[in-house]
Amino acid sequence: MPHSPDDPSDRQPESVGSEGEPARRRPVPIDRRSFMRRAALGAIAGPALLDFLAACSSNNVAGPSGGSTPAGFQIASPDNPVTWPIYKDNKPIKSGLKPQAGSTLRLYNYDDYIGPKVVKEFEKKYDVKVTVSTFNDTDEALTKIRSGKVLYDIYFPSYDQIAKMVTAKLIRPLNHSYIPHQSNLWAEFSNPWYDGEWRYTVPYTVYTTGVGWRSDKIPADIGGMANPYDSLWDPTHKGRVAVIDDWHTAMAMVALRAGITDINTQKAKDLTVIKNQMLDLNAKTNPKVTITMYNDLPAGQLWLAQMWSGDIVNAQYYLPKGTKPDVLAYWFPEDGKGEVDNDLMVILSGGQNPVAAHYFLNHMLDTKNALDNFGYIGYQPPQNALDPAKVVADGYVPKNLESAVVRREWFTAGYRLLELPPAADAAWHAIWQQFKAGG
């Protein structure tokens, strides 16, 4: 359903929904959970940790802190594709089952990262009630899932948690007979490097991470610079700049700026370069570290920010009245050599409704539903029917944000944020911690 990109109010009907709440991928980073976290660190940690101990003993992962990758713990990458084993005690469900009428399907997702219309249609079609619980970041989500206290059916992570989830048997292998719509997806997803034979996952969205800016506030052609990432260090933009509040996404951008194309590097020399540049960034432009660019950039609060492609697409709906979307601009390397990622849908083994969960995955991969959902969340599904060349013509994305459309060939050319071995993970996090301490 095309809509005019010139008029923010003319959003596709399903994109605003009866809730009237505009779409976004990430929520405002303050919520009840955050308060509780602050108020009683110990009190919330206690019960979760007791469960954790029990979980660890059954999964044989407990032990003292180790610097090396534990045995049996593989890390998938495009160069090292992994097909995860299917364990005897964690097998797919049987074929030919029907979702139980009147049952409840529990989704665990980012706030506003799924369109209410497609959810309602599923409820109606299968007589299943769907509830959506939200998390702020996937580290938090994984902690909660592992506690076993909340039995969600479907979780929407990126692939950087898959090794942990499969190893700890937190996710259920898929029975493909329930998911025929998988054939609607780009062919590379029938055997993705992070999950050979798509045994455990189906893709949800694809997105790039680039630089977004207000072309009315910054006259310079940032996309035309020799190294557009440099703009984030330009002191003339001080106080109007932001980077994404996700350690790996932000630091990978810093690596790319410095010419380090291995954005999962474990070399101490590379990490020193990244650290120095992070601290230099603080000194030069005093950036905000946030995930609300989709709101702050259109509001004029920010002029320039590291951004996810889906968020710049959403930003057009947050512009003040009378401001046209053509003030928004986005740069991602034309050759695709930037951060390119995809999110997933997985079925949690702790969930109580695995049959309905399979049906739901299939429902979301249906082309019409996937496109409806795209209209709401702004993040593109890797559907064959969605021709990147026609996304602009079809009105999903305004012409000036054409660079935010994810091209299929970028999946070969781009760099992926991978899971890191524990020691490297600790080294990256330590730099991020120093950066965020502002020291």
| Binding interface with another protein (CB under 8 A) | 29-30, 34-35, 37-38, 40-43, 45-46, 49, 52-53, 56, 61-66, 70, 73, 137, 139-140, 142-143, 146, 164, 167-168, 239-240, 242, 245, 247, 282, 286-290, 299-301, 320, 422, 425-426, 429, 432-439
Placement of tokens 């006259």 in the chain? 219
What's the CA gap between 45 and 47, in Å, rounded? 6
CB of 240 to another protein, least distance (A): 7
Sign of CA dihedral 74, 78, 81, 86: positive
- Give the DSSP letter of residue 64: S
CB of 254 to another protein, least distance (A): 14
Query: Under a CB-based contact definition with an 8 Å cutoff, are residues 399 and 314 in contact?
Result: no
- Which C-beta is closer to another protein: that of 15 or that of 109? 109
Give the three-class secondary structure for 133: strand
Cα angle 292-296-302, degrees, rounded to a multiple of 5: 120
CB of 100 to another protein, least distance (A): 32
Residue 289 one-letter amino acid:
V
- Which C-beta is closer to another protein: that of 247 or that of 332? 247
CB of 252 to another protein, least distance (A): 17
- Which C-beta is closer to another protein: that of 21 or that of 140? 140
CB of 389 to another protein, least distance (A): 37
CB of 366 to another protein, least distance (A): 34
CB of 378 to another protein, least distance (A): 22
- Burial of 190-207, coded b for 16+ CB within 10 Å and e otherwise, reads eebbbbeebbbbbbbbbb
What's the CA gap between 160 and 416, in Å, rounded? 9
Query: Under a CB-based contact definition with an 8 Å cutoff, are residues 268 and 182 in contact?
Result: no
- Which C-beta is closer to another protein: that of 3 or that of 436? 436
- Which C-beta is closer to another protein: that of 44 or that of 86? 44
- Which C-beta is closer to another protein: that of 103 or that of 282? 282
Residues 6+ apart with CB under 8 A from 206: 340, 341, 342, 379, 380, 381, 382, 406, 411
- Which C-beta is closer to another protein: that of 145 or that of 356? 145
